Amino acid sequence: MGKLNGKKLAGSTLIEVLIAMVIIMVVFSIAMGLFSNVLSGGVSMRKVQINQQLESLRLQVIENGKIEQEHLVIDSVDYELIKTEQASSETDLLEIKASDHGTPAGSIRFLLKLNNESKED
């Protein structure tokens, strides 16, 4: 082993190391808070999927000219089709509401033109 004759090794004291660790932890916690806010504020793939499914259901109802089922469950999302009011003798105002595990996830409202078959039902 070599000896150090009259030379000191440069190093940090325990207090300096602790202060540096505290500063790093504060910066890291601020960064994690900002990161979680960005993730929660963005459009998730689940919301995009629900909106696409709402549009698909709207097109199906328009194509069929009537509501076949008032309640659907697709990919664990509940879709409720509601006839809110009759806008005129030829059209109905319909609304499709989506809820994901009990929380509202989206809705869409549209007019449905009635055909002669649905008036007789």
Mean pLDDT by 10 residues, the chain (121 residues): 64 91 97 88 80 91 82 88 74 88 88 60 38
Round to whole Å and give the CA distance between 99 and 12. 57
pLDDT at 70: 87
User: Residue 119's pLDDT is what?
Assistant: 40
Prediction pTM value = 0.58
Q: Which of 98, 111, 53 is nearest to 71 (CA)?
A: 98
pLDDT of residue 65: 77
Looking at residue 103, its pLDDT comes to 86
- Output the pLDDT for position 85: 66
